[in-house]
Structure 1
Amino acid sequence: MSEPTTAVVLGGSLAGMLAARALADVADRVVVVERDVLPTGPAPRKGLPQARHVHQLWSGGARALEQLLPGVTGMLVDAGAHRQKVTTDMVVLSPQGWFRRWDESHFMLLCSRDLLDATVRAEALAHPHIELADGTEALALLGTDTAITGVRLRGSDGAERSLTADLVVDATGRGSRTPQRLREFGLPEPERREVDSGLAYASRIYRAPEAARDGFPVVSIQPDPRTGQPGRGGVLLPIEGGQWLVTLYGTQGGEPSTDAADFERYAREELRHPVLADLCGQAEPLGEPSFTRTTVNRRHYYERMRVWPEGLVVLGDALAAFNPVYGHGMSVAAQSAVALRAAVRRRGWGSRALARLAQRAVARPVGAAWELAIGQDVFYPGATQNGPTLRERAVAAYVDRLMHTATGNGRVAKRVTDVTSLERGAEMLLTPGMLLAAMVGPLKPALGRPPLTAEERKAAGLS
């Protein structure tokens, strides 16, 4: 009879809970260690500054979520989350012009981060193999430079204890200390890249006009990162409770104000189109705006390290943190958790190089989302020390042409959303048919105004 297996997950946010649920299928015991005391329902929590701002779960992430927690997407919809069709339920001004609202290709789930986290947390912790140690700080990793064997913990009472584990998963987010901890074991820090556009977010919740509380589209005004000027954009997402979550954002030199009185002025005067200001003007603001600068793109290439200790895996924002405006962080975390489960099943506990195999597996979903994020942000002034590389300029030029084509070609638009929804890899954009379509360009003329229907304009009080 084999020895019982124990996994420890550091971090109790979305990535940590999904990693724990993934491991609960292959381990006898999974302990989630969280520094903060977690709420029992949908409520704000410490250590998550981006929670008050726009979030979305693309269909690629929603399908991974469903693999880990069957039925959870239905629970979210029942609780008020919106299932928005891509691109049918979207009104988007891209740098290349207004997108048409083509027939559904994929979807996104929209709700507050509080509701999403609470639903996932409750479902994950209901599994009999999962234990929660919240109010508990991880002080150190135990082991050597060749194998991590557990963690040293300190509880809320100040008492310290050691917890032995067959696998430790770091899902502590942007504040992860794994690079320093590796250095303490005499290992080199991983290769790392940052792309920081200096983006700042200001977000406010509105009560939508009554007639616009169901079936209203996402509205997004995107900046153009290649003008050499600060980028300014905004997005409106329908969330639960008949509310709209509106986020305004700007890069260094174009940041939105923290002043509530300036919120709608920024939306009207600083963005490339005033439709968001028009919509906000017909809705009721609920509370003051929230503000954050926690938006840097940062990726650690742990999978490239020549030496990697057994018993350690890093995923979620601790592995790769994205500018939240692209909405890929949660989806990548869900896909990485599915990959972690598959790697442990395939290799088996106690097998040589299990952690290295798992680390490489959880890093694969990062690639497409990373390219999508830095492919835009790298062009803002000061985002990187040396500016975009020659490859990044070439890729951006092709993507620009594709996006221009997608404004008037439904087949190309679907292929693009295959990638942005994280359903398929970016290689889909390099087929001969796509290359030819990009050369031909859009098949329909450019739209001159936001593609809101007459019914939607009336429901929002715009006509």
Structure 2
Amino acid sequence: MSEAPHGRRLAHAVVIGGSIAGMLAAAALKQHVDSVEIVEAHELPEGPEPRAGVPQAVHIHFLQTGGAEAIEALLPGSTDLLLAAGAHRIPETTDMVIYAPEGWYRRWRRATHYLITASRDLTDHIIRQQVLKDPRVTVRTRTRAVELLGTRHRITGVRVRGADGADTDLHADLVIDASGRASRTPQWLAGLGLTRLASDHIDSGLVYASRFYRAPVPTRGWPVIGVQADPRLPRPGNAGGILPVEGDRWHVSLMGAPGGQPTSDPDAFEPFARTLRHPLIADLLRHAEPLTDVRVTHSTANRRHYYERLRPWPEGLVVLGDAAAAFNPLYGHGMSVAAQGAAALREELATGPAPGLARRAQRAIARRVDTAWALAVGQDIHFPTTTGKRPTAADRLLHRYVSRLSRTATGSFHAATYLTDVLALQATPTSLITPRVLLTALAGPLRPPLDEPQLTATERGLLNQLRGTSPSCSTE
């Protein structure tokens, strides 16, 4: 991508947060800013190790196609580096065994999209390594941002506090807040007199419990396993997933809503997996070797600040990643939306530092948020435990339509592709109500429903060995 027109460039930018969102923001900035400084509250690890301040790292993470492509555009070669380090490229839906509320999805031989699966620590490391090798990017660790500098019309920097308690003013042409769910920007803006920020907080009450296992099989080519919750059932919504990650490991997360939440008790992990709508995950775990304790988190609410609507919006400030919108991790969109937001920032920077840059960037980031927000909230509001919003008649009608399309997708390649286009963040939800998709949903599935997960002969043999039963699962 070319530099700003006529060689115009910003001199200095400050990024709050050394998260994936912060690193990708720095990647977006470095072509258009003379120097970028990342302010991080903790130390950053040298390798693919846990980073302090990221409690969600212990739960399953993956990059959707749209997110992986955004990272590749910002940091060319990142996908190859991830794969060389042991990450997996999972073709959708070819290597996915998913039990949706409407039934088992088929594993179509023609893959239309893909996932990149790896531990969060590895993904963090590869991105961080790529960004920090650029001499234009520096990091100030063990330093917290405590206040924005400037006025309600223009932000001129940020005040930071070091480990010794001393404050320093960092002046900048552009400040990017990528500090995650703990962002203080709403309070900082209120202190500048900007008090009309609209926000949503929609919480299904979902609790996550996760651990790593040594897989009882080489994981290269092993599918993603998922058993989804069904909000129509008169029971707490619970779900689970197994991702193959580096080191021949399985990363396993189990989720439960109020009244049926998992705990950190390691002896209760597999029994909880057996309470899901199908015992597939529990059966696979029975002979896998636990490598870690069970880690639990309750921070799974969908929360969004509508910065793009706030007037006036100060020049010199942009918010992205979880600081702008955080999602229920069940849907696996957080990293991908952050990547697409950073790519949107870079596109706006390419037009040059003209007046209104920050507002244009904020609106562009919001457009990248919209699809994932609609998907997460559009599902969560239908669970009876959800607070913050209840479904309207229009919401219920749309949910019934999407459910019909999902049921169609269990036996229709075209319906499955339309849905995956949206889930992969490569199409908007409105694409699902075009005449072509409406006719597909009306026609219904072209193949009969599957009674069991669709497994290859090798996968079925392993599962039956673990179960100690004769073959009973279908394959196609």
TM-score if structure 2 supplies the norm length?
0.94
The answer to whether the 8 Å contact 1:418/1:424 transfers is yes
Is structure 2 residue 140 aligned with structure 1 residue 169?
A: no
The offset of 1:352, in angstroms, is 1.5
Code of the residue aligned with 1:8 in structure 2: it is V
Is structure 2 residue 300 aligned with structure 1 residue 295?
A: yes
The offset of 1:388, in angstroms, is 1.2
Q: 2:432 aligns with which of 429, 432, 436?
A: 429
The offset of 1:187, in angstroms, is 0.8
Code of the residue aligned with 1:174 in structure 2: it is R
The answer to whether the 8 Å contact 1:99/1:406 transfers is yes
The range that moved more, 356-365 or 377-386, is 377-386
Q: Distance in 2 between matches of 1:40 and 1:254?
A: 39
The offset of 1:189, in angstroms, is 4.1
Is structure 2 residue 403 aligned with structure 1 residue 400?
A: yes
Q: 1:282 aligns with which of 280, 287, 302?
A: 287
Is structure 2 residue 64 aligned with structure 1 residue 63?
A: no
The offset of 1:363, in angstroms, is 1.1
Is structure 2 residue 377 aligned with structure 1 residue 374?
A: yes
Q: Distance in 2 between matches of 1:439 and 1:384?
A: 33
Equivalent residue for 2:210?
Answer: 203
The answer to whether the 8 Å contact 1:49/1:294 transfers is no
Q: Distance in 2 between matches of 1:262 and 1:229?
A: 19
Is structure 2 residue 13 aligned with structure 1 residue 7?
A: yes
Q: Distance in 1 between matches of 2:390 and 2:409?
A: 27
The offset of 1:129, in angstroms, is 1.2
Equivalent residue for 2:187?
Answer: 180
Equivalent residue for 1:328?
Answer: 333
The offset of 1:203, in angstroms, is 0.6
Is structure 2 residue 155 aligned with structure 1 residue 125?
A: no
Give CA-to-partner distance per residue, 1:350-408, whole Å, 9 cap, x none.
Answer: x2111111110111110110111111111112313451123322221111111011000
Give CA-to-partner distance per residue, 1:419-455, whole Å, 9 cap, x none.
Answer: 1011122232122111011111111100000111121
Q: Distance in 1 between matches of 2:349 and 2:461?
A: 53
Following superposition of structure 1 onto structure 2, how do residues 31-42 of structure 1 map, counting pairs within 5 Å? 31-42=37-48
Give CA-to-partner distance per residue, 1:99-122, whole Å, 9 cap, x none.
Answer: 000120100000000000011001
The answer to whether the 8 Å contact 2:205/2:258 transfers is yes
1:456 and 1:3, CA in 2 relative to 1: closer, same or farther beyond 3 A? closer
1:152 and 1:94, CA in 2 relative to 1: closer, same or farther beyond 3 A? same
Q: 2:112 aligns with which of 96, 105, 113?
A: 105
Q: Distance in 2 between matches of 1:89 and 1:83?
A: 10
Code of the residue aligned with 1:345 in structure 2: it is A
Q: Distance in 2 between matches of 1:334 and 1:385?
A: 27
2:293 partner SS:
strand
Give CA-to-partner distance per residue, 1:15-68, whole Å, 9 cap, x none.
Answer: 000001100011001110001111111111221111000101011100000001
Q: Distance in 1 between matches of 2:26 and 2:271?
A: 44
Equivalent residue for 2:82?
Answer: 76
The offset of 1:4, in angstroms, is 5.5
The answer to whether the 8 Å contact 1:191/1:300 transfers is yes
The answer to whether the 8 Å contact 1:222/1:234 transfers is yes
1:154 and 1:255, CA in 2 relative to 1: closer, same or farther beyond 3 A? same
Is structure 2 residue 259 aligned with structure 1 residue 250?
A: no
Q: Distance in 1 between matches of 2:59 and 2:447?
A: 35
Give CA-to-partner distance per residue, 1:163-220, whole Å, 9 cap, x none.
Answer: 111110100000111111110001114111111000001111110113x422110010
Q: Distance in 2 between matches of 1:35 and 1:149?
A: 21
Following superposition of structure 1 onto structure 2, how do residues 211-226 of structure 1 map, counting pairs within 5 Å? 212-226=218-232
Equivalent residue for 2:167?
Answer: 160
Equivalent residue for 1:389?
Answer: 392
Is structure 2 residue 247 aligned with structure 1 residue 263?
A: no
The offset of 1:128, in angstroms, is 1.8
Q: Distance in 1 between matches of 2:300 and 2:444?
A: 33
1:133 and 1:439, CA in 2 relative to 1: closer, same or farther beyond 3 A? same
2:350 partner SS:
helix
Q: Distance in 2 between matches of 1:89 and 1:262?
A: 29
2:70 partner SS:
helix
Equivalent residue for 2:233?
Answer: 227
Q: Distance in 1 between matches of 2:237 and 2:370?
A: 24
List alignment gaps of at least 5 residues for structure 2: 1-6, 472-476
2:396 partner SS:
helix
Code of the residue aligned with 1:147 in structure 2: it is R
1:120 partner SS:
helix
Q: 2:344 aligns with which of 332, 335, 339?
A: 339
Q: Distance in 2 between matches of 1:438 and 1:231?
A: 26
The answer to whether the 8 Å contact 1:179/1:189 transfers is no
Q: Distance in 2 between matches of 1:83 and 1:32?
A: 30
Q: Distance in 2 between matches of 1:327 and 1:231?
A: 17
The answer to whether the 8 Å contact 1:228/1:381 transfers is no
Question: How many residue pairs end up in the alignment?
Answer: 459
Give CA-to-partner distance per residue, 1:266-319, whole Å, 9 cap, x none.
Answer: 111x10000101000121111211111111000111111121111111000010
Q: Distance in 2 between matches of 1:234 and 1:340?
A: 34
Percent identity of paired positions between Structure 1 and Structure 2: 53
Q: 1:52 aligns with which of 49, 52, 58?
A: 58
Q: 1:354 aligns with which of 357, 381, 388?
A: 357
Q: Distance in 1 between matches of 2:394 and 2:25?
A: 34
Code of the residue aligned with 1:329 in structure 2: it is G
The range that moved more, 126-135 or 241-250, is 126-135
Equivalent residue for 1:135?
Answer: 142
Q: Distance in 2 between matches of 1:154 and 1:77?
A: 38
1:135 partner SS:
coil
Pairwise CA RMSD: 1.3
Is structure 2 residue 154 aligned with structure 1 residue 147?
A: yes
